[in-house]
Amino acid sequence: MTTYTAHPIPPRVLKELRTADDAGRAPAPFTDEEGGAPLRCCLRHSTPGERIALVSYAPLRRWAAETGADPGAYDEQGPVFIHAEECAGPDGDGLPFTNAHRVVRRYSAEGHILGGRLVEAADGFDAALREALDDPAVAFVHVRAVEYGCFYYEVRRG
């Protein structure tokens, strides 16, 4: 049976994104008056009054730079919310942001998309992730928003 772990954006990458994002822009932190923004640094929703920033993040580009893979046209960047300052990271090991429709997108070791699956309810995540990660051609998956395609987190075996 395959086990898996959700991974937020790594702390060293967050440090870089708080200086310049993957589009080369300086972040513009703001006070989140309403709360509810999905934070990719600690995998929880923001609370009212927290200082956060919306930055551009290219997860495959950064992964490819570390592994030598070439995702080619699959290299994309998109908006993610992070804390404006360093945070403690996730406080649990469960799967976050499963309260709405999500896409589980599969990637090969080269960073190419191998397919995806729409997950319509929280109880569908386990089956979608097991199906994806039981396939030896799948190196990792991204959980993404349906509405905008935004990256939420990466899931790997183990």
pLDDT tens-digit series, residues 85-108 = 999 999 877 888 888 899 999 999
Instruction: Summarize pLDDT for 146-155 with one digit per residue, the tens.
Output: 988 899 999 9
Task: Tell me the pLDDT tens digit for each residue of 68-85.
Answer: 999 999 999 999 999 999
pLDDT tens, position by position, 47-65:
999 999 999 999 999 999 9
DSSP single-letter state for residue 122: G
User: Which uninterrupted H or E stretch holds 7?
Assistant: strand 4-7
Calpha distance 54→33 (Å, rounded): 14
Mean per-residue pLDDT for 114-131?
Answer: 90
Domain ranges of the chain: 9-83, 102-157
Signed CA dihedral, 146, 17, 27, 73: sign only: negative
pTM of the predicted protein model: 0.93
